[in-house]
Chains A and B, each alone.
Chain A
Amino acid sequence: MLELRGLCKSFGAAVVLQDIDLVVREGEMVFLIGPSGSGKSTLLRCCNRLEEPTSGVVIVEGQSILRSRVNLNQVRRRIGMVFQSFNLYPHMTARQNVTLALRKVAGKTRVEADTIARRMLDHVGLSDRIDFYPRALSGGQQQRVAIARALALEPRIVLFDEPTSALDPELVNSVLSVMRMLRDEGMTMVVVSHEMRFAREAADSIVFMSDGRILEQGIPDQIFGAPRHPRLRDFLSSIMQG
């Protein structure tokens, strides 16, 4: 579904990603964990070329998306993205946030797009907030609208960049339960998150990154139960103390 080979990214002299190899299979939920500055978000953003990789290969559904001939906007349509700060369009209602790309990118009519938006917002539990503007919604509700916006285009994979980090603690669960539901529906997801308990419970695979490299990858029980790399052990003990 998603494959990274030899991915490198530098900002000037600063090397942020070094020789990343990663395979995400269809229906898998993969968590990227690691200390801040380890390159998790940059890795995620290379997958839809919000960041341009310095070298390496990114393959989505068998197609390398780094070639110059690739229609990037059509690629992005198949890769949903959910951001830490939601990034809803503040001048549009929840419905308009969802329908914009449906109409402009997917070429749906207003009626079709409205129907899909209604279904998507209903799916994330916001059927009674369809015509609300973002400023009238809580953080958790805004993030669920953002998820509905990403899902509406029927992406093959969804990237989550710290989706709950900006939320008040009592609102985190509303977003996590939507993500859990997506996993149960078989959505392929790559998640950067600090929600370790959720990662342990929901992830199919966990990738530990530090200093721009993948140091360890495995199933949750192995990563949390029997971490091998000393850096991972340090990282886990440092966050578990809190």
Chain B
Amino acid sequence: MDTFAENFLNLDVVGDYVPDLLAGMWITLKLAGIILFFGLASGTALALVRMVRLRLLNLVILVFVDVARALPPLMLMVVAYFGLPYLGLRLNGFAVACIVLAAVLAAFTEELLWAGLSTVAVGQYEAARSTGLTFLQMMGSVILPQAFRLVQAPLLSRIIATTKNTALASVVAVPELLSQANTAQGYSGNASPLTAASLGYLAIMLPMVIVARHYERRQRPE
């Protein structure tokens, strides 16, 4: 028991690495913020483009969505980080992580939102159009709010999964929370920084999980 405390709950060791871990946590938050914003926005945009029903464009979207959902994001990141330079495109790890995870989130968001959009009653579209709203006004004020509400539970779990996936960025040299903890563990020969990092993840994730639970409860039929 003492050895466990010594190796995993060693406050002296953690104390040495607190600044590094906080810096890592900040990068994790930045990654998550950027990825969630661009992933949700472009997923929504893709769903809207798909509404226009141009056959070729929809085919392109479908292929993108299915491929992005099928491949492991870790593999995509590694391929982009180590492979793209051979094509003359050199991106840093942070950019690669943002692009890959945002693209994967966009694919899931598009697919979920599309299901939601198809569920909104036809009469809602007709009522909006009959009052003279433009397509974008109709989507923005009438249809999308209802579609998001319909898919909020699965979308929130996808948001949580995406936020956790920022830890994958450690393999492409982004000094985020997990990466900092790993480095600290290597230098100190002690696993306590990992314990501290998991507390950091809990601090980020728990509020999201609680919010998700709240929405899930709200969505149950009355």
Contacts and interface: CB of A to CB of B under 8 A. Distances in A.
Interface in B124-156: 124, 126-134, 137, 141-142, 145-146, 149
Interface residues of B, number: 18
A100 B129 CA distance: 12
B146 A153 contact: no
A85 B123 contact: yes
Q: Is the contact region of chain B dominated by helix, strand, or loop, or is it mixed?
A: helix
A48 B126 CA distance: 11
A81 to B, nearest CB: 4
A177 to B, nearest CB: 23
A68 interface: no
B132 A76 contact: yes
B121 interface: yes
B150 to A, nearest CB: 11
Contact of A50 (B129, B137, B141): B129
A134 B123 CA distance: 14
B134 A76 contact: no
Interface in A82-141: 83, 85-91, 100-101, 104-105
Interface in A44-95: 48, 50, 73-77, 79-81, 83, 85-91
A85 B146 CA distance: 17
A73 B137 CA distance: 11
A220 to B, nearest CB: 28
A80 B126 CA distance: 12
A149 B131 contact: yes
Instruction: Give the top 6 A-B pairs by smallest Cβ distance, nearest first.
Output: A101-B131, A87-B127, A87-B123, A81-B130, A77-B132, A76-B132
Interface of A: 48, 50, 73-77, 79-81, 83, 85-91, 100-101, 104-105, 146, 149-150, 153
15 contacts: A48-B130, A50-B129, A73-B133, A74-B132, A76-B129, A76-B130, A77-B132, A79-B130, A83-B123, A88-B127, A89-B146, A90-B146, A91-B145, A100-B131, A105-B132
Given A105-B131, A150-B130, 19 more contacts: A50-B126, A50-B130, A76-B130, A76-B131, A79-B130, A80-B131, A81-B126, A83-B126, A86-B123, A87-B127, A89-B128, A90-B146, A91-B146, A100-B133, A100-B141, A101-B131, A105-B137, A146-B127, A153-B132
